[in-house]
Structure 1
């Protein structure tokens, strides 16, 4: 069994080379400031705990916490006389707030392993991710759904990570050959509602987070929905364990 296709392996190798190149350049520049940006999510806290145990990056790196949508508070508090290497943030929406600072200061470098939006990653070679871009994810998801003979879907997106949701939805619309009967866009989870159009679809596609995905899944199952659920890695974290993970197909 092949674990990676040639293209996937090539992408991983290229990204690793770029990552090492950026780190090498930065560390030759005037002892740069290195920081970690965290939104306080469980995923980030688990990663920080593992870092604390292994110290694999070498030495102690300060962690700057921010509330979602308020990265500016961190950036304004940092000195700008040295090059800056930022590890994080976790989402495309948060990373988007760093772009104005990167435009104004060419000595800011960002390594955000989970950011996938092309408008963010493609902004500069100084911003690197370790994840596949949204266009490839949308393509693979569309092919997976079609192979399961799912030809009508309803989509869930949110405004919490709007940059990511909008972009991957646009790619999915181009890739999917079936019918998208509707899109439920939520500002908060209290807006999650089941409609008749949803229940008439062969499948549900979530580009939202784990908790929102699980809530919609549960509501639909309570109303007797027997279709399939699909989600991206954005929905796969500890919160999803609150629900039946077997319901999600991909």
Structure 2
């Protein structure tokens, strides 16, 4: 919240003990260094200029240069450890069907698997997450690198990026696996450490209210729901496009 009434006001950062004129402009959420306009209950993301990092500053302020006065400021705690990507080991596998390079957690909803190889011969094999000390059949299927929930094909030393769907994050799951549902076996897996200090996801999850008893996720941004009543089936497709959730419903008689 900012009323926009400052005459010469900017996002401002510095390394002096207190906010003052010996700082520098931090571009706004659009990457511009214009005088700040009004903000009304707006969530924004700022990037420090010239590859500076959080550990190089002591404060961030909304600062008016004409009045030499901060309208609001926040101090970076001493010894602050900024969140950063975490590099884990390779996928553990007891067979030769799956091999990989390092597994990287880049932020709370994004997992990168480097140099993934899989022969693609399993019929019902998916990326799989869950809770507990090791992978098991009661996990959750997650989309592949293209956002689809179809069985996995062949990978030949391919680096892929997986996005955890819905409310799932690396803080709510204990492991990631490549899991063969038909044969109830783990082809490759890795344990996700507790208390990870990784950046939060900037993906905005927009909940979709759905009263139908049956629901299937077709894609990370698309789900189908249905309900059977007598000789009638009611179906609904819902998909997220940007920051909007759209739905289409229809009825069909048997």
Report the TM-score, using the length of structure 1 for normalisation: 0.25
Larger Rg: 2
**Which structure carries more helix by proportion?**
1
**Which structure carries more strand by proportion?**
2
Report the TM-score, using the length of structure 2 for normalisation: 0.25
